[in-house]
Amino acid sequence: MTRENAEPLLSALIVAADAGKRRTLVDLVAGRGARAREAENGTRAWELLGAEPFDLVVAIGEVSSGDGKSFVAAVRELDETTAVVAVVDSAERGREALSEGAYDVFTRPLDRDRFLVVIGRIHEAIALRARCGVLEQMLNGGTRLGGLFTCDPHMIHVVDGVRRWARYRAPILIVGEPGTEHEEVARALHDLGRPDGPFVASSAALTVAELRAKHAEAAGGTVFIDDVAGLAADVGTALSVLLEEGTAESARPRFVVSYPYADPPTIEPADPRSQLYRHLTENLLRLPPLRERRGDAVLVARELVAGIGRDRGRELAIGRAVEDALRAYTWPGNLDELKTVVAIAATAANGPTVELYDLPAPIASLAGAVPEPPTRRLRDLEIQHLRQVIEETGGNKSRAARILGLTRWALQRKLRKHGITLEGSARDEPDSEDS
């Protein structure tokens, strides 16, 4: 079972020295649709607990935390949302486990029926906690994480998932249509979890040697690979080997990769990337397209326009008719398209408000009953905006990237994509503000 950002799904870790007892509980938990992992001792348990979050940890008998604390207390300290169930030999030890923070205790032999009831209650509590958290954030006007800003419940689940997953080491697969801010989510994971390490981003156009070089460069940080589907077969195999080496060492970089489609990859045995996909699809974040994020197009547009106004020393807002048009448009290019359209409209605005006539005609027409005319390609709008910003900054890539809300790497990728070269006064070095 994959951990997606829609309805919370139960994941469990079963810790016991006896393989038969572990297997029995794994089967019970898996029978309720949960994903279960096994650990034969405390060392293996802590390796797994440091790699990924678990909703439930079941400890059979005495398990060492490795730091002198009780296992139950150590797990709760690591992640207070993790429910710990202890299977003990005596009522006295059961009382101790409860005082240390255990959700429930069982004495041997295990009462299977009551165990399944407890699992159900934990699952219900997780779902209720998630829904309450989303509702609270919606009532507060949305949530923000780095460059991500949303008031949509599905996207709030994503942000909450990023916050929880950031502290762990397991690789993450980000799934979503092009333009849904894969790199922004990857940077948020990095900034929350590994801010002292390097963030190394790359396209899928890698050789095996380049992949290994980036792996070494990102020690203690994050490697982000854009579009895992585009990796060459030998590079995909090399990446799979790196993932199989494990995440126990904190110096190893974390891999975050994107898959630019609405659904995760289908694992086909004949596909040379099938083993890689098995590694990645265990832990995924699914990014909803902008058309499914209720109210976010207007919310993000307001933020962008206000920011553009501040950068240019004036107040700038969007008119109500513009908001109506933004709500009505389906945004096939998602947030990338929204950012381009808003930037062009804000540049065209003469007064303190972006008006309907500042928008591209296909979008402006949606504010009324006028049929939608033939669309102008997003590529043309983006090229126009890139050229204008580059001209305004005298070709300074650092300043242009900041105005566009991009990293230098992302700007260079867009320039190459559209065949735009910097000539004459073009400069690669940072401007004075970056020095």
Summarised one tens digit per residue, pLDDT across range 245-280 is 865 555 789 999 999 999 998 888 777 788 898 889
pTM (two decimals)? 0.78
Can you say how many angstroms the Cα of residue 282 is from the centroid of all Cα atoms in its chain?
14
292-418: in CATH 1.10.8.60: yes
Q: What is the overall mean pLDDT for the chain?
A: 86
Positions of CATH 3.40.50.2300 in the chain = 11-132
Residue 291 has pLDDT above 80, yes or no: yes
Whether residue 154 contacts residue 167, with contact meaning beta carbons closer than 8 Å, is answered with: no
78: nearest Cα among 97, 98, 51:
51
Residue 424 has pLDDT above 90, yes or no: no
Rounded CA separation 250/299 (Å): 38
Identity (one letter) of the amino acid at 23?
Answer: R
Query: 260 or 147, which is more confident?
Result: 260
Rounded CA separation 52/253 (Å): 15
Residue 429 has pLDDT above 70, yes or no: no
Q: Buried (b) or exposed (e) across 178-191, using 16+ Cβ within 10 A?
A: ebbbbbbbbbbbbe
Positions of CATH 3.40.50.300 in the chain = 142-288
Positions of CATH 1.10.8.60 in the chain = 292-418
Mean pLDDT computed over 109-135: 91
Token pair of 397 as six digits: 């890539």
Mean pLDDT computed over 281-305: 92
Report the CATH architecture of 11-132: 3-Layer(aba) Sandwich (3.40)
Residue 82: CB atoms within 10 A of its CB come to 21
Rounded CA separation 418/179 (Å): 16
Residue 401, burial from CB neighbour count under 10 angstroms (0-12, 13-18, 19+)? buried
Torsion angle defined by CA atoms of residues 105, 111, 115 and 116, in that order, rounded to the nearest 10 degrees = -170
Rounded CA separation 335/155 (Å): 13
142-288 has which CATH code? 3.40.50.300
Give the confidence band of 403 by pLDDT, cuts at 50, 70, 90. Answer: confident
Residue 46 has pLDDT above 80, yes or no: yes
pLDDT tens figures, 15-29: 999 999 999 999 998
How confident is the model at residue 410, as a pLDDT?
Answer: 77
